[in-house]
């Protein structure tokens, strides 16, 4: 019934009846409004079960380098991670790993791991340091080039951390961004984010969600630092294919798939008003270890300077654990994704022995799937 019809009826009522009617209407309308609100799940709130997962969250992110000291400074002193290594592989181990990761015989390497023991739910970083210079995947800072873009470092002390990293000399793509965003219940929370420039053209996103919102990955309660808890990739012109790969081959689920526009002071360091597809894929049941995909609309894709995989310098491989390696292999074959190596057994000096396969993702990044029983 239209409100105007009510108004005609009100003309025949006295003041008392009008008041009673208004109270009745308020009592009926409020519960109806509450029932019809659509609540959007938070990213960290899975709609699925770990039991349904084919692959788990991102477990290891591999970075190739000729600048091991610069990376150590960045990850240990800057981000508070623990260093293990470098490990020198035995000839047998090196041969196995080189074959698995397609490293040419002309390159020897050492392996160093970085992790966060106070928040073990985060990704590990595996750094391969080569004896000879290798070309860099990226040619500049910023999100323009396709390929791996950022490592995500959630924390609960962003303003202090920002001051500290700037004092160390690390620059950002844009000034620290502060905004108020909506919670699933309709209230708001404070959001702080910026992106720091690291060695090998690496980008480190530092992000805090306040007002009771859970961080996007586990945070060490002692240091208030977390991450890397996720990674972003530029997949301009190929987002449909990349999302299909992760959902059909890796068994991932989409928790966000929207088109946004860059705002004023965007952490990406881009002008306002640029539309981009913003998609986030999680392992089923997972609360972190996810991948974020950016597809800049109406933009000609820019290839990375060199293929975004090992042994080129930068982020070149993502590793995922599974208990269903044969299913993943069958999925990859059905999808048409090339299998670079395996399945084979290899021995990593930090992880020990495991069975793995390396798949070439549609954007040329290596995807290592590990089965360790």
Query: Could you tell me the CATH number of the domain that includes residue 186?
Result: 3.10.180.10
Report the pLDDT value the prediction gives residue 3, as an integer from 0 to 100.
Answer: 36
The verdict on residue 348 lying in a domain is yes
Among 217, 214, 229, 199, smallest CA distance to 78 is for 199
User: What distances in angstroms separate CA 64 from CA 44, 137, 249, 309, one per listed residue?
Assistant: 30, 10, 25, 9
pTM higher than the cut 0.75: yes
In a domain, 186, yes or no: yes
In a structure prediction context, what are the per-residue pLDDT tens digits for the chain, which is 373 residues long? 333 333 343 343 344 444 433 333 333 322 222 222 334 678 788 888 999 999 999 999 999 999 999 999 999 999 999 999 999 888 999 999 999 999 999 999 999 999 999 999 999 999 999 999 999 999 999 999 999 999 999 999 999 999 999 999 999 999 999 989 888 888 999 999 999 999 999 999 999 999 989 999 999 999 999 999 999 999 999 999 999 999 999 999 999 999 999 988 889 999 999 999 999 999 999 999 999 999 999 889 999 999 999 999 999 999 999 999 999 999 999 999 999 998 999 999 888 999 999 999 999 999 999 998 7
DSSP structure class, residue 335? H
Domain-located, residue 131: yes
| Residue pair 342/322 in contact by the 8 Å Cβ criterion | no
Q: What pLDDT score does 36 carry? A: 29
* 22 falls within a domain: no
Q: Is residue 17 part of a domain?
A: no
- 3-state percent helix, strand, coil for the chain, nearest multiple of 5: 25, 35, 40
pLDDT at 194: 96
> Each residue of 202-222: b (16+ CB within 10 Å) or e?
bbbbbbbbbeebebbbbbbee
34 belongs to a structural domain:
no
Q: Is 345 helix (H, G, I), strand (E, B) or coil?
A: strand
Number of domains in the chain: 1
According to the model, what pLDDT value does residue 120 have?
Answer: 95
| Residue 208, phi then psi, degrees to nearest 5 | -125, 135
| pLDDT of the residue at 47 | 81
Alpha-carbon gap, residue 332 to 337, rounded angstroms? 5
10: in domain: no
| CA 332 – CA 330 distance, rounded (Å) | 5
Q: Which residues contact 220 (CB under 8 A, 6 or more apart)?
A: 80, 116, 118, 119, 226
pLDDT given at position 113: 97
Q: Write the DSSP string, 124-157.
A: EEEEEEESS---BS-SSSSS-BSEEEEEEEEBS-
User: What are the structure tokens assigned to 257, written together?
Assistant: 């798939």
Please tell me the predicted confidence (pLDDT) of residue 21: 35
Domain with 366, as residue range(s), is 56-371
Distance between CA 88 and CA 80 in Å, rounded?
24
Following DSSP, what letter does each residue of 248-271 receive, concatenated? HTS--EEEEEEEEE--TT-TT---
DSSP β-ladder status, 275-282 and 290-296? antiparallel
Residue 17 has a pLDDT of 40
Check residue 373 and give its pLDDT: 72
């Amino acid at each position: 019934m239209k409100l105007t019809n009510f108004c005609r009826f009100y003309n025949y009522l006295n003041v008392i009846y009008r008041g009673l009617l208004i109270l009745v209407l308020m009592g009926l309308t409020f519960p109806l409004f509450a029932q019809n609100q659509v609540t959007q799940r938070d990213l960290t709130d899975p709609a699925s079960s770990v039991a349904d997962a084919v692959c788990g969250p991102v477990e290891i992110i591999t970075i190739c380098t000729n600048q091991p000291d610069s990376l150590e400074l960045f990850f240990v002193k800057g981000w508070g991670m623990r260093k293990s290594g470098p490990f020198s592989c035995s000839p047998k181990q090196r041969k196995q790993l080189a074959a698995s990761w397609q490293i040419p015989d002309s390159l020897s390497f050492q392996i160093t791991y970085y992790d966060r023991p106070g928040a073990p739910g985060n990704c590990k970083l595996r750094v391969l340091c080569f004896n000879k210079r290798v070309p860099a995947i990226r040619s500049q800072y910023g999100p323009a080039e396709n390929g791996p873009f950022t490592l995500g470092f959630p924390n609960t002390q962003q303003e202090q951390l920002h001051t500290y990293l700037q004092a160390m000399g690390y620059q950002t793509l844009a000034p620290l961004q502060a905004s108020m965003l909506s919670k699933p219940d309709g209230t708001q929370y404070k959001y702080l984010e910026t992106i720091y420039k690291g060695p090998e053209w690496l980008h480190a996103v530092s992000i805090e969600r306040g007002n009771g919102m859970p961080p996007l990955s586990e945070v060490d309660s002692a240091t208030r630092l977390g991450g890397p808890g996720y990674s972003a990739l530029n997949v301009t012109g190929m987002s449909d294919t990349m999302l299909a790969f992760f959902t059909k081959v890796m068994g991932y689920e989409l928790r966000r798939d929207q088109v946004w526009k860059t705002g004023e002071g965007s952490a990406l360091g881009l002008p306002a008003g640029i539309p981009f597809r913003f998609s986030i894929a999680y392992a089923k049941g997972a609360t972190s270890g996810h991948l974020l995909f950016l597809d800049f609309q109406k933009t000609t894709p820019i290839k990375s300077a060199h293929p975004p995989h090992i042994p080129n310098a930068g982020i070149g491989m993502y590793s995922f654990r599974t208990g269903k390696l044969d299913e993943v292999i069958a999925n990859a074959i059905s999808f048409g994704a090339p299998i670079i190596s395996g399945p084979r057994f290899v021995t990593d000096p930090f992880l020990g022995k495991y069975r793995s396969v390396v798949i070439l993702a549609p954007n040329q990044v290596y995807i290592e799937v590990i089965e360790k029983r």
